[in-house]
Amino acid sequence: MTEIEPVTLQEAQFLVGRSLDDINKAIERGEVEKLLDFVVEPARAKRAKIRLGSRDRRPHTSSAHGHAPARTVTQKVRKLGQHELVYLALGRDVHDSFTPSARKRLYEAIKTRPEGADRVSIGPVDVLLKPAIAQLKARYRVLRDVRTGIVERADAVPVFKGTELPVYLIAALAEGQGIDETLADYPSLKRKQVARALDYARAYPKKGRPYPARSLKRAIADLAAAGIFDAADDAPKLGPADFR
């Protein structure tokens, strides 16, 4: 099996096709073991406080070149390894057919199975791992390449390289109105870029308010097709005398 590096729980959702809630519950129940990783990330920029009446209004810097050193923060991140992902990729149907103690035996069997084994035995029951492993391989290849051609700027929405087009916007449109219509709205994009936007949004769901599912041009066309503007044209015309 392709070696899978530990992934975040968010990335695990994409790989195993289960919700973050499901994954967290499996961890809390002790069905799978989590890994803890420490990730260093850029700190959010804070606006410098300037006293009114100060002679020098520039923020103080300690760098010899006049620039403040880049601030970073260390985050503790939950991750899952390859064995845990195989177990979770079996799906809820498989897990629900086992008792809690049998689930733990299944997990242990997956961790200790011989290299290349595509099934494990839990007492008299054989559990086929091959479909779950095939799904993981395919999705991991997508996840590994999903950032290609995408620029992730600190404290900003990701955009396609060389453009200012938000990746989440294109993903929302492709999901709502289809890839073909999205390509017609943004002819500078290629089909593989739109497909990658969909994969990116599924692997790293957008936080906060979602983008609209249809472009403004198509939303206006929908209103026109529904006769909204015709109704406005048919309204009686008012003149100055009507307001006396």
pLDDT in tens, 156-165: 899 999 999 9
Q: What is the per-residue pLDDT across 213-234, written as a single tens digit (0 to 9) for each?
A: 888 877 787 777 777 766 555 5
Average of per-residue pLDDT across 199-209? 92
Name which residue leads in pLDDT, 234 or 178: 178
In the prediction, which pLDDT does 154 show?
75
Q: Residues 154-184, buried b or exposed e (16+ Cβ, 10 A)?
A: eeebbbbeeeebbbbbbbbbbbbbebebbbe
Q: What is the per-residue pLDDT across 106-131, written as a single tens digit (0 to 9) for each?
A: 999 999 999 889 999 998 999 999 99
Q: Which two tokens stand for residue 52?
A: 């009114």
In the prediction, which pLDDT does 64 show?
47
The pTM of this model reads: 0.71
Q: Which long-range contacts (CB under 8 A, 24 or more apart) does 137-146 make?
A: 137/1, 137/2, 139/14, 139/15, 140/2, 140/4, 140/15, 141/2, 142/199, 142/203, 143/7, 143/11, 143/14, 143/15, 143/199, 143/203, 145/196, 146/196, 146/199, 146/200, 146/203
Secondary structure (DSSP) of 161-214? TTS--BHHHHHHHHHHH-HHHHHHH-TTS-HHHHHHHHHHHHHSPPPSSPPPSS
Nearest to 169 by CA among 154, 186, 184, 152: 186
Give every CB contact of residue 86 below 8 A, 6+ residues apart in sequence: 110, 129, 132, 133, 136
Split at pLDDT 50, 70, 90, the class of 93 is confident
In the prediction, which pLDDT does 56 show?
43
Q: What is the per-residue pLDDT across 49-82, written as a single tens digit (0 to 9) for each?
A: 444 344 444 444 444 455 555 577 777 888 999 9
Q: Residues 78-103, buried b or exposed e (16+ Cβ, 10 A)?
A: bbbbbbbbbbbbbeeeebeebeeeeb
Nearest to 137 by CA among 150, 118, 112, 165: 118
In the prediction, which pLDDT does 242 show?
45
Name which residue leads in pLDDT, 235 or 94: 94
In the prediction, which pLDDT does 48 show?
45
In the prediction, which pLDDT does 50 show?
40
Q: Which two tokens stand for residue 242?
A: 């009507």
Q: Which two tokens stand for residue 65?
A: 């070149």
